[in-house]
Structure formats: structure tokens, C-alpha cells
Amino acid sequence: MEQQEQNPRHVRARVLRIDPAARTVTPANDTWETAREWIGADLLERVGCGAGADLWIDEEGMLVAEPDLWVLGGEQLLAGRGVLVGGVGGEWCDLPIPAEVAAGAVAWLPERMRSRAREIAGGMRPVAVAWDEAGMQELARMQREHQGRVELLAVASEPATLGGAE
């Protein structure tokens, strides 16, 4: 009997759903397709998180007028809903780290910091620099400056906790 290969977009895995508008981190069982529908995006972007975990978010999340921003791992400013899942070579699998540990990497921005966070996020949009040594130095300087601003937001943020299963 010939074995059929399973469509990777229909592989179900244990994940964490991150919803910054509701300020919740909730365990769920999703496929890539159900995650995309829950996030509410046509295009998803993969953010490699290390430890065999990937975060999938709306590729255009930073482009909305007033994005729901949050911080991952104390250093990444992200926008909109996300799904944290196990990822090996881009494959969708169960989250390999305890849900409580993964939820601890998520932080919410306090209300008083949201407008400043949106200003910082606005500075993340692509810029043109010359493809020479001076341009690369300018780009590196801009990245260091941006990273410092995100780290300051992370210090002021409130840690998320794991919610109940849906």
C-alpha cells in the first residue's frame, strides 16, 4: 500500500495562542490553517524563537493604524495575535517547551506605554541605506538604537500568565 504524504498545513499540534488585545496566552490545538484563521491574516510570518519553537504572526501586523503591541523574550516588539508552536526546519509540531515557560516569555505593554510603543514600532519600517560600508554602519547604528528602545519597553512591561485551555 502506498503511503500518502500529509499536507503540512493540516498537521494539528499543541500551541499557545497569544492575544495582546485580550491580554491572554492560551493553550490550543491548531493546524497552520486554523492558526491563520484565528490570527486573522492572509499572510503569516515565521519568527524563529530558538529551543525548537516558532512564532507565527500577521506579516502586516505592524502596518495597521493602531497595532496591539507586545514584547517577546524581552527584546522583540511584535504586533497582533500570534501562535507559538514547535518548529523543526519549518515543520509544524507540538510546542517542545512547557507552556508555562513559553508564556513567561510574553509581556504586555502597560496602557501608559502604548503610544510610545507605537512610535517605536513606526520606526521599525524599512529604510533605504547605501549598500556600502557607510550605509551598513548607519543601518547597524539604527538597529542598536531601536533595540535599546525595545529593551526599555520590555523593562516596563507586565509578564503574561498562562490561561486555561479553549
For the segment 67-98, what is each residue's pLDDT rounded down to a tens digit? 899 999 888 889 999 999 998 766 789 999 99
Is the residue at 99 inside a domain? yes
Structural domain span for residue 101: 8-159
Distance CA 150, CA 40 (A): 25
Q: Average pLDDT of each block of 10 consecutive residues along the chain (166 residues)?
A: 56 94 95 94 89 91 86 89 87 90 91 81 70 84 78 77 67
Q: What's phi and psi for 59, nearest 5 deg?
A: -60, -30
Number of domains in the chain: 1
Is the residue at 166 inside a domain? no
Is the residue at 164 inside a domain? no
Is the residue at 1 inside a domain? no
